[in-house]
Amino acid sequence: MLSCKQVADLASRAQDEKIGLGQHLKIKLHLMLCRGCRHYWQQISWLRRATKALLTQHDNVPSQLPDEARQRIEQRLKSRSAQR
């Protein structure tokens, strides 16, 4: 059986990529037996859903800064690096 650390690592990976059927079944078995890991799985699943919902709410926000804002940021960064 997988350790809690292994399940936490796999659970994080499984949120972003496909994992093998064998690993998936090992996680499910561990989650049935371990309340702490089950809560962790629920928490990261909730965070993923919340993040996805937040990003879809802001789809209408321009993904790039206006040129004026970009230039102001660049100037500030240059002046800060010059001060060091």
6, part of any domain:
yes
Query: What domain range is 9 assigned to?
Result: 1-57
38, part of any domain:
yes
Asked if the model's pLDDT at residue 60 lies above 60, the reply is no
Judge contact between 45 and 77, C-beta under 8 A.
Answer: no
Higher pLDDT, 28 or 58: 28
36, part of any domain:
yes
Judge if pTM exceeds 0.85.
no
17, part of any domain:
yes
52, part of any domain:
yes
84, part of any domain:
no
The total number of structural domains in the chain stands at 1
Higher pLDDT, 67 or 31: 31
Distances, alpha carbon 33 to alpha carbons 7, 26, 60, 64, 70, in Å: 12, 11, 43, 47, 52
CA dihedral 32, 37, 43, 47 (to 10 degrees): -100
What pLDDT digit, counting tens, does each position of 13-55 carry?
887 788 899 999 999 999 999 999 999 999 999 998 898 888 7
